[in-house]
Amino acid sequence: MPIQPTEKIWRNGQLIPWEQANIHVMSHVIHYGSSVFEGIRCYGQPSGAAVFRLPEHMQRLLDSGKIYRMALPYTLDELCAAVVDVIEANGVAPCYIRPIALRGYGEIGVSPVGSPIDVYIANFPWGKYVGGGSHGADVCISSWNRLAPNTMPALAKAGANYMNSQLIRMEADINGYAEGIALDVNGLVSEGSGENVFVVRNGVLYTPPLANSALSGITRDSVLTIARHLGLAVIEQSMPREMLYIADEVFFSGTAAEVSPIRSIDRIVIGDGTPGPITKQIADEFFGIANGLKPDRFGWLTPVKVDVAVPVTA
């Protein structure tokens, strides 16, 4: 989806013009993929706009940096305030927010020592990510596996990890699918190229544990929290791929994907081919909270002041 430029980007504590947010071609990140990032959504609400689970996202950015020995020069509160500042400066909401910390221009070579750490935060309009609309997406099992846990850390949301995601998504696109689901090195269900996976069977909600090389998704945690609040049975357990085929319902979760139903996997129709009741129940609660149509019962929303925000329906 093409990026729609906004007016300002936050860079190392300052708001700068969008077109000036540049890095040198010899920056470490370009040659070695040395970046960590986040994806966050700001939703329109009847009273204005609010960022969804902002502290949790920025804490994960800090955690990702720590895993890669990349100490960000900002506190959690400073990063959260920066997100609010850039949204309010641009006056764009609803929107998608992209914070990224990267190793910049300084030295060449695999070792990042000597390269500065730069932090940028941008926001811009962005709609639905996973195709298929309200009927659900047609996806496939990818021939590409997720990374083994002792090769690259799956808990870090690092730019380099997404080279693997690109292979998964491009393969799916070429073969006419909306998305791909990757297995881990043991052949167990892991996640999509940029989404966590949930399965419903006999009224029970299942999702792979983080040990199956899955990202610790903020939306994943939101779905688990909502499901437990609704009194649903929830199990985190490893799953063989065939469990996807015999599921009653399957859906993706993620900041970009939100809660996106899956209609078929490898051309095998899931259930009756329409979003199931549990998927709908969770999606209704998720979007109701995000859009301000239901109480923020879990304290997930950070208000921002913009004049152009409008509610977004699921």
**Distance between CA atoms of 190 and 192, rounded to whole angstroms?**
7
How many helices (H) and strands (E) the chain has is answered by 7, 17
Query: Residue 247: which of 261, 257, 232, 229 has the closest Cα?
Result: 261
| CB contact at 8 A, 289 and 75 | no
What is the Cα–Cα distance from 68 to 260, expressed in whole angstroms? 31
- Active site residue: 8, 157, 280, 294, which one? 157
Whether 294 is catalytic:
no
Cis status of the peptide bond prior to 94, with omega within 30 of 0: yes
Among candidate residues 194, 285, 204, 283, the one with its CA nearest the CA of residue 237: 204
Query: Can you tell me the distance from the alpha carbon of 231 to that of 197, in angstroms, rounded to the nearest whole number?
Result: 20
Cα 96–chain centre separation: 10
In this structure, the chain runs to a length of: 314
- DSSP structure class, residue 117: E
Q: Supply the residues annotated as catalytic.
A: 157
